[in-house]
Chain A
Amino acid sequence: MFLYILKRVLATIPVMLIVAIFVFLLLRLTPGDPAAILAGDAATPEQLERIRDRLGLNDPLLTQFMNWVGQLLRGDLGTSLLSNTSVAGMVADRLGPTINIAMMTITISVLLAVPMGVIAAWRHRTWIDFLVMSFSVLGFSVPVFVIGYILIQIFAIELRWVPVQGYKTPSDGLGAFFSRAILPSLTLATIYIALIARMTRASMLEVLGEDYIRTARAKGVRENVVLFRHALRNAAVPILTIIGTGFALLISGVVVTESVFNIPGIGRLTVDAILARDYPVIQAMILLTAGIYVFVNLLVDVSYSFFDPRIRY
């Protein structure tokens, strides 16, 4: 297991290097000029040229790339071209809201979706199954911002139970945190509930037809034990994959939800940086996203062995 993890970690090095080269070149080939954005509308070409010089944007591409890689190797993500603040600090500020919302979303999703999927499979082709599948289709089909607006209208504007927008950290008080995090989490959870419930149902249907389930039932094992201990555990691998990928997606940024609920997360940071051509921020964000995917996939792979003893590394 340790060797497997070590191999996987080492394998991330070429992946990250390829991502770094790709994102660096892609940004330089995309139209847009950070100097023009910094200087504003009335800047003259001469002023722009001087700012480009100062920012190092006129250096040869190789020099710029080596400077950046050198910074990365020293653990320095660089400085934002616009705000002149440390990229690491900006990312750290934005990571908290994103991780907290993602954890809450995944928790809600798993708590609701797994039982829904199990029950839908257990009561296959009944009205319960139909209801769960209808919800799944709805969850996939309705755009996330529409769900967000509907929840805001009901719970924030009509009932006034929670605020319309904003974000507070748990250290500001659990009440303040939950009251602001619950609507965006529920909004995002709608999609993930749909996804996980559907995947759970499909996996469970496959497993429930197996001989060992019939044997367990014939031995008089209680139905909830059959479903949750025997069947669900064997159906877990694809469900875990979906949860892992979903979590990585949530961490790497959910810009629409962050915009609708005014959450200062990773998604908004990335989009704002792209629109402003803030190269160091974009580069850091894409590397971070790649890193998150690699790490989450590793975690998911490792977790398979805990649920399915047949899988060994």
Chain B
Amino acid sequence: MLTLGATRKNTRSLAAALLMGTALLAPGALAAQEDETTITAVMHSGLRVLDPVITTAHITRNHGYMIYDVLTAVDENFTPQPQMADWETSEDGLTYTFTLRDGLMFHDGAPVTGKDVVASLSRWGKKDSGGQLIFDVTESLEAPDDKTIVWTLSKPFPPLLDVISKQSAVPPFIMPARVAATSADETITEYIGSGPFVFNVDEYEPGVNVTYEKFDDYVPRDEPASWMAGGKVANVDNVVWTTMPDALTAINALSAGEIDYIEQVQIDLMPILTSNPDVIVEKRDELGYVTIGRPNHLHPPFDNKLIRQAAMAALDQESMLATMQGDPVYYNVCGAIFGCSTPLGDEAGSEVLTGGANIEAAKALLEEAGYDGTPIVLMAPTDVISLINQPVVAAQALREAGFEVDMQSMDWQSVVQRRAQQNPVSEGGWNMFFTNWMVPEISDPLINVMVNGRGDEAWFGWPTDSEIEELRAEFVAASDEATKKAVAVKIQEHVMDNVNYVMMGEYIIPQARRATIDNMIPSPVPVFWNMTKSAE
């Protein structure tokens, strides 16, 4: 006869035995991150594209900063500083001569030469909008010797250094000439830079793990690190980026000491971490992100300026930001299209945005415009957490003002495909969508793609706006900071009147780290040089 008691006992003890046994088998398993030479970080997304020129994806840009170096870089005052090279500018502003510093070497041991720089800048110039503007006025870009690069222009381009020093979205990373010879529309297949970390190809699992090793031959600059500029000192032997699709898993792993760093923490999960004395939750930088609404200028009703103004009057930054972030510590009502904390940022004319929704004004504008009830197709992505709330809040506000709103839910990739359609709404087009940018990506008129007014050549939404193009040309020609600022304010006022896009405010996504991680540079781009790790 079967002995039930024995079976029960055996069954009951099986799970415990499995768990206990595995714990005993793995004495080092729980101490994985006690290694002081490796930093394990959970980044905002998985790294899948390894070419930092072909894509504007932030994770690929971050990867670029790990393994590549740049010619010049902005410091925390948005001022270009020498990084791989010093420079001299001719008096007529037509010739820039860069001199590479000593000790620059690629990860394969080859020295960095002027030819590598020329090839890298040329490839970047085919892709980056600011780079294209420089190459429009480039007479020649040459390397007369291994250390020197001479960039000759046909007419002055005063913001040249600002453009090549920008930290986002596509900085001109320097690659070996043979790699940079790849077409700008094709992804590179060799990942060799001269930056402070080496990409470990063997350990790379697309979208899952990427491992960087300290480049022992990297020679940092002597100046202290400041944003992307200054000395890049690698203080750990390895940096591992791992992707965790589940936010709660990442938080539990950080709490348990299995990982060292989370780049972006969901606000609603923060209380789990803030109660842990071994974990620090903080703002890495004060610039953060902006969220914006983009109307389609090609088709009714947003081809009518008064109707765009009505939409802007109906929208309320505070309610949108509060819905997105919840905690006011992590958002900022801000009407400056170039960001509220940037040198060119100014809130001129933005009271309509920052003063709260004015439904009556919106209704009056709709009446004046003769709005005929044409429904607005508002694209609402459902799979990107930072973009879920904006369309919902906007739809409600627009309906209150009298708009007919057709909010269509779809995944983000469908938004990405559909927003490129210039067809009328009845043929698969659209009227409005929301997206987010890092503040450094919108901080001046050459970088901010939404102030491009070149119609079909402009960014999705395609405004044909000769006035803003004249202002942008004025900005390019401005040779001093005061003039640049004055032109930027004019562009700000113009955008507030013409509603090229609707600035919906700034927000910060906090980061979290173990208390053992220190000396992280407070820059908009998370970088791992200078970072230190001590024992638990």
A residues contacting B by CB (< 8 A) are 31-33, 36-48, 50-51, 53-54, 80, 82-85, 90, 93, 108, 111-112, 115-116, 119, 122, 128, 149, 152, 155-157, 160-166, 173-176, 178-180, 182, 186, 222-224, 227, 259-262, 264, 268-269, 272, 275-277
User: Which A residues lie within 8 Å of B245 (CB)?
Assistant: 259, 262, 268
The reply to whether A51 and B185 form a contact with Cβ atoms under 8 Å apart is yes
Contacts known (A31-B410, A33-B417); A264 close to B249, Cβ less than 8 A: no
Would you call B268 an interface residue if the criterion is a C-beta within 8 Å of the partner chain's C-beta atoms?
no
CB neighbours (8 Å) of B25 from chain A are 173-175, 178-179
Q: How far is the CA of A259 from the CA of B185 in the complex (A)?
A: 33
User: Is B411 an interface residue when CB atoms closer than 8 A count as contact?
Assistant: yes
Check A178/B22 contact, CB under 8 A, given A82-B49, A115-B7: yes
Q: Is the CB of B22 within 8 A of A42?
A: no
Which residue of A39, A80, A93, A152 contacts B252 across the interface (Cβ within 8 Å)? A152
Residues of the A chain whose Cβ atoms lie less than 8 Å from the Cβ of B416 = 32-33, 36-37
CB distance from A257 to the nearest CB of B (A): 10
Could you tell me the dominant secondary structure of chain B's interface residues? mixed
A-B contact pairs, 23 of them (CB 8 A): A41-B437, A42-B170, A42-B459, A48-B420, A83-B48, A83-B206, A84-B50, A84-B189, A108-B18, A122-B2, A157-B255, A162-B22, A173-B26, A175-B22, A176-B29, A178-B22, A182-B22, A186-B18, A260-B246, A262-B244, A275-B383, A275-B411, A276-B48
Residues in chain B near residue A112, CB distance under 8 A:
11, 14
Complex Cα gap A259–B244 (Å) = 7
Known contacts A32-B416, A33-B413, A179-B25; is A40 also within 8 Å of B55 by CB?
A: yes
Q: Which residues of the partner chain A approach B420 to less than 8 Å between Cβ atoms?
A: 33, 36, 45, 48
Q: Add 14 more A-B contacts to A31-B417, A36-B413, A163-B30 (CB < 8 A).
A: A36-B417, A37-B416, A54-B185, A83-B49, A84-B187, A112-B14, A119-B4, A160-B30, A163-B253, A165-B249, A178-B21, A178-B26, A260-B246, A277-B413
Given contacts A175-B26, A175-B27, contact A31 B1 (CB under 8 A): no
Which residues of the other chain, B, contact A166 by a CB distance below 8 angstroms? 32, 253, 258
Contacting pair A39 B56 (CB below 8 A): yes
Q: Judging by beta carbons under 8 Å apart, are B246 and A179 in contact?
A: no
Q: How far is the CA of A19 from the CA of B286 in the complex (A)?
A: 51
Chain B residue numbers with a CB within 8 Å of A227 are 2
- B15 and A83 contacting across the interface, CB-CB below 8 Å: no
Residues of chain B within 8 A (CB-CB) of A260 are 246, 248-249
Q: Is B264 an interface residue (CB 8 A)?
A: no
B369 to chain A, nearest CB (A): 29
Q: Does B435 sit within 8 A of A, measured CB to CB?
A: yes
The 4 lowest CB-CB distance pairs between A and B, nearest first, are A40-B56, A175-B25, A175-B26, A83-B206
Q: Report the separation of the CA atoms of residues A83 and B55 in the bound assembly, to the nearest whole angstrom.
A: 12
User: Quick check: A149 and B248 within 8 Å, CB to CB?
Assistant: yes
A163 touches B207 (CB 8 A): no
**Interface residue B208 (Cβ < 8 Å from any Cβ of A):** yes
Q: How far is the CA of A20 from the CA of B230 in the complex (A)?
A: 54
Residue B414 is within 8 A (CB to CB) of chain A in the complex: yes
B46 pairs with A272, CB closer than 8 A: yes
In the assembled complex, which residues on chain A have CB atoms less than 8 Å from the CB atom of B11? 112, 115-116
- B352 beta carbon closer than 8 Å to chain A: no
Indicate if B385 sits at the interface (CB-CB under 8 A): no
Q: Within the assembled complex, what's the spacing in Å between the Cα atoms of A272 and B417?
A: 17
In the assembled complex, which residues on chain A have CB atoms less than 8 Å from the CB atom of B457? 44, 46
Interface pair B246/A42, CB less than 8 Å apart: no
Partner pick for B54 among A39, A176, A262, A268, CB 8 A cutoff:
A39
Cα of A235 to Cα of B185 in the assembled complex, Å: 61
Residues of chain A within 8 A of B23, CB atoms compared: 161-162, 179
Which residues of chain A are near B183, meaning CB under 8 Å? 54
1/0 per residue, CB under 8 A from A, across B422-452: the answer is 0000000000000101000100000001000
Which residues of B, 194-242, contact A by the 8 Å Cβ criterion?
205-209, 242
Closest residue of chain B to A178 (Cβ to Cβ) is: B22
Measured between alpha carbons, how far is A83 from B416 in the docked complex, in Å?
Answer: 19
- Closest A residue to B244 using CB positions: A262
Q: A157-B252, A175-B25, A180-B29 are in contact. Are A264 and B56 (CB under 8 A)?
A: no
A3 to B36, CA, bound (A): 61
> Which residues from A are CB-within-8-Å of B383?
275
Asked if B21 and A80 sit within 8 Å, CB to CB, the answer is no
User: Which of A122, A128, A182, A277 makes the CB contact (< 8 A) with B18?
Assistant: A182
Chain B residue nearest in CB terms to A225: B2
**In the complex, which of the residues A42, A157, A182 contacts B256, with contact meaning CB atoms closer than 8 Å?**
A157
CB < 8 Å: which of A90, A152, A174 contacts B206? A90
Q: In the complex, which residues 22-77 of chain B have their Cβ closer than 8 Å to any Cβ of chain A?
A: 22-30, 32, 46, 48-50, 54-57, 60
Compute how far the CA of A92 lies from the CA of B399 in the bound complex, rounded to whole angstroms: 51
